[in-house]
Structure 1
Amino acid sequence: MTAWPDRRILDLFGIEHPILLAPMAGPGTAELAIAVAEAGGLGALPCATITPEQARSALDAFRAATSRPVNLNFFCHRKPEDDPQREAAWRARLAPYYRELGLDPAMPVAPSNRAPFDDAFCEVVEAYRPEIVSFHFGLPEPRLLDRVKATGAKVIASATTVREARHLEAEGCDAIIAQGFEAGGHRGMFLTADVSSQIGTFALVPQVVDAVGVPVIAAGGIADARGVVAALALGASAVQIGTAFLLSPEAKIPSQHRRALETAEADETAITNIFTGRPARGIINRLMSELGRLAPDAPAFPLAGGALAPLRAETEPVGSRDFMSLWSGQAARLAKPMPAGDFVRTLAAEVLAKVR
């Protein structure tokens, strides 16, 4: 298609529409990625909460269904050091909830399964050669990044500040995702830990566009044609959308999460670290209200989630969302429930009509 005024991302990735599916760990299924890809957008397969073997299975399913490009996404956090004292303090804060549910506050809990990009995942990239590889929380160590680039993959990563964007360009990223404060899920911040200094999408995008020479992808608070047109007008070459896809049938989310997305107002989301130990935006629930949004005593990412697992296991099967991470951006109420492929095609047509 030649109607898009900025073709840099289209030509770089080999896609029809400048619409990228955000790689949402948990909700992001192979079926969702396939639907977006077949509609002309860029499908994404998140690997943050799965094993290399599961990543291979997801890639097998994607490749069997479509020949379109795919984005394979990874977290790049550093494994935290053990801190028994901090963990014990966190367990003590959660102890009243354990007792309320008839659980032993001292019961053993499994560690979080969020794994950073490593040699095993790099071997998956080398074997399957995805067209795009994206990273969150910075970039992997140089030797791993060099191996990824050697496969021919285009490398992209999230920046939440201009300084982070410049850093990513200097490290050789082919495009940069400018993630605004409105975005749902984990902040991609890696050169700062100050959440209060984070920038909104439509202030961040033009500053990143001015600061770097590679194409910029706008993310955060974009769920309809108006948001896409605004992002393009500010210099973005494409948009990355997450929350708006959560209401599609291909997304894998619990029913109570879906109900929360359908009813929550824009001011009912907040940045919190209590579910994983790292700042992320989600719909406010009981745990966020009672523990506080940002808890300084929460264990480092991703350890905070381990002690919450028994509480979630006890309450979620009966429909409670008290202890569930209800990730959502601020534009959830703009989302329309429809199949993911239909959403991409409709959105692209509406944007082009407005651009013309």
Structure 2
Amino acid sequence: MSSALTDLFAHPIVQAPMAGGVSVPQLVSAVAEAGGLGFLAGGYKTADGMYQEIKTLRGLTARPFGVNLFMPQPEYPGASTGSTGAAEAAPPYSAAVEVYAHQLAGEASWYDIELGDPDSGRDDGYDAKLAVLLDNPVPVVSFHFGVPSPEILDSLRRAGTFTLVTATTAEEALAVERAGADAVIVQGVEAGGHQGTHRDNPEADGAAIGLLSLVAQVRETVNLPLVAAGGLMRGSQIAAVLAAGASAAQLGTAFLATPESGAHALHKQALTNPLFVRTELTRAFSGRPARGLVNRFLREHGPYAPAAYPEVHHLTSPLRKKAAAAGDAQGMALWAGQGHRMARELPAAELVRVLADEIEVARAASLGGGASS
């Protein structure tokens, strides 16, 4: 690991980028000021919206931070094209999305709104956001849902930016290394929110790997620094993934409950509300596997949601927003990792310090146990 990258991970706690308004500048700055590495979420924002958040964050802290981008989603395989190369048929999977829209008609009627346009775009403004990050470099950029080209990673490196890419298998981690990223985020099945799989394969649903096993597999496959992510809520868990070979640990759900988080109040309360006893991976809200608290919407629609991201995300967006505005947690996407019941309502900076203390206690206990055995 380079000395600069070693300095970046001198503190092992990374605050995960949580799209949808959770990872606001106030949260990121609080984590950064406490010594951790905070991340803004570039996903679901315009390029200018992302830039404005970066400006705000820079006014709050001079510490290093990161920005996360969603990779553009490829057109579905098998799209028919004419002699000019232009698509002649309806977009693939459009029939399945239309069927799902009919199923959601009752939800739209209940909330007295129209469903969103599923064809609202597949690239999340990727090129425009990259242009912003190359013109105004930030310390770290991470990528979700795929691997950027070696040329893009190299251009960011020349701009002085470290690059991280999420992987959910050892094979994906190898692709990250070959592309030239500086580190890989190893995401276990326990993680809340979207699984960062490089290719959405419905046949692989349910085949995701637990974090400790995945860290061990990736550690034997690549020579990059690893950032472990998935269900981590306590310093003892962080110590375990560090002992397994990770250089740092990325936590999302643990920071979601902090007062600086931009999450809806109902979302924060649901983490420890006894009404929400478990999480599931579901396509109900976005068309891609994502872990959330099991509520009415997930139970009723999850089994029928097609593998169609971001079409389903666009389709359900008005429903999710209206449910939040109406204070209806049963209609919201309550993303959460498997450790959600261990959430603590601590200020973000205090949480970073508590986690760091817990790491040291766990390490000391491990050394003490080894000495006495």
What TM-score results when the alignment is normalised by the length of structure 1? 0.89
1:38·1:66 contact (CA, 8 Å) conserved in 2? yes
Does residue 353 of the first structure (1) align with residue 330 of the second (2)? no
Q: State the alpha-carbon separation in 1 of the partners of residues 344 and 147 from structure 2.
A: 34
TM-aligned CA deviation for residue 264 of structure 1:
5.0
Q: State the alpha-carbon separation in 1 of the partners of residues 8 and 355 from structure 2.
A: 19
Q: State the alpha-carbon separation in 2 of the partners of residues 215 and 9 from structure 1.
A: 12
Q: State the alpha-carbon separation in 2 of the partners of residues 189 and 206 from structure 1.
A: 18
SS of equivalent residue, structure 1 residue 211: coil
TM-aligned CA deviation for residue 15 of structure 1:
5.1
TM-aligned CA deviation for residue 117 of structure 1:
5.9
Q: State the alpha-carbon separation in 1 of the partners of residues 70 and 12 from structure 2.
A: 23
SS of equivalent residue, structure 1 residue 239: strand
Does residue 227 of the first structure (1) align with residue 237 of the second (2)? yes
2:286·2:316 contact (CA, 8 Å) conserved in 1? no
- Choose from 283, 298, 301 the match for 2:293: 283
1:201·1:219 contact (CA, 8 Å) conserved in 2? yes
Range 328-337 or range 135-144, more displaced: 135-144
Does residue 154 of the first structure (1) align with residue 162 of the second (2)? yes
Identity %: 37
Instruction: Look up the match of 2:368.
Output: none
Which letter does structure 2 place at the counterpart of 1:345?
A: R
Range 157-166 or range 301-310, more displaced: 301-310
Cα shift readout 1:244-269 (whole Å, capped 9, x = no counterpart): 00110110111221121122589610
For residues 13-92 of structure 1, the aligned pairs below 5 Å read 14=8, 16-26=10-20, 27-78=22-73, 80=75, 82-83=91-92, 84-92=94-102
Instruction: Look up the match of 1:4.
Output: none
Which consecutive unaligned segments of at least 5 residues does structure 1 have? 1-6
SS of equivalent residue, structure 2 residue 57: helix
Q: CA RMSD in A?
A: 2.3
TM-aligned CA deviation for residue 205 of structure 1:
0.8
TM-aligned CA deviation for residue 118 of structure 1:
2.8
TM-aligned CA deviation for residue 313 of structure 1:
4.3
TM-aligned CA deviation for residue 100 of structure 1:
3.9
Q: State the alpha-carbon separation in 2 of the partners of residues 56 and 320 from structure 1.
A: 32
Instruction: Look up the match of 1:3.
Output: none
- Choose from 306, 310, 331 the match for 1:297: 306
Instruction: Look up the match of 1:109.
Output: 116
Cα shift readout 1:130-160 (whole Å, capped 9, x = no counterpart): 1111000112244433322221211111111
Q: State the alpha-carbon separation in 2 of the partners of residues 241 and 180 from structure 1.
A: 12
1:13·1:132 contact (CA, 8 Å) conserved in 2? no
Cα shift readout 1:184-209 (whole Å, capped 9, x = no counterpart): 00001114621222100011111111
- Choose from 238, 249, 263 the match for 1:253: 263
SS of equivalent residue, structure 1 residue 197: coil
TM-aligned CA deviation for residue 331 of structure 1:
0.5
Residue 10 and residue 233 in structure 1: after superposition, are their counterparts in 2 closer, same or farther (change >3 A)? farther
How many residues are aligned here? 345
SS of equivalent residue, structure 1 residue 129: coil
Instruction: Look up the match of 2:370.
Output: none
Which consecutive unaligned segments of at least 5 residues does structure 2 have? 77-90, 365-373
Q: State the alpha-carbon separation in 1 of the partners of residues 16 and 339 from structure 2.
A: 14
TM-aligned CA deviation for residue 13 of structure 1:
5.0
Which letter does structure 2 place at the counterpart of 1:311?
A: L
Cα shift readout 1:212-257 (whole Å, capped 9, x = no counterpart): 1111111101111110111111111110000000110110111221
SS of equivalent residue, structure 2 residue 228: strand
TM-aligned CA deviation for residue 54 of structure 1:
1.1
Residue 290 and residue 208 in structure 1: after superposition, are their counterparts in 2 closer, same or farther (change >3 A)? same
For residues 99-248 of structure 1, the aligned pairs below 5 Å read 99-102=109-112, 107=114, 109-111=116-118, 115-116=123-124, 118-191=126-199, 193=201, 194-248=204-258
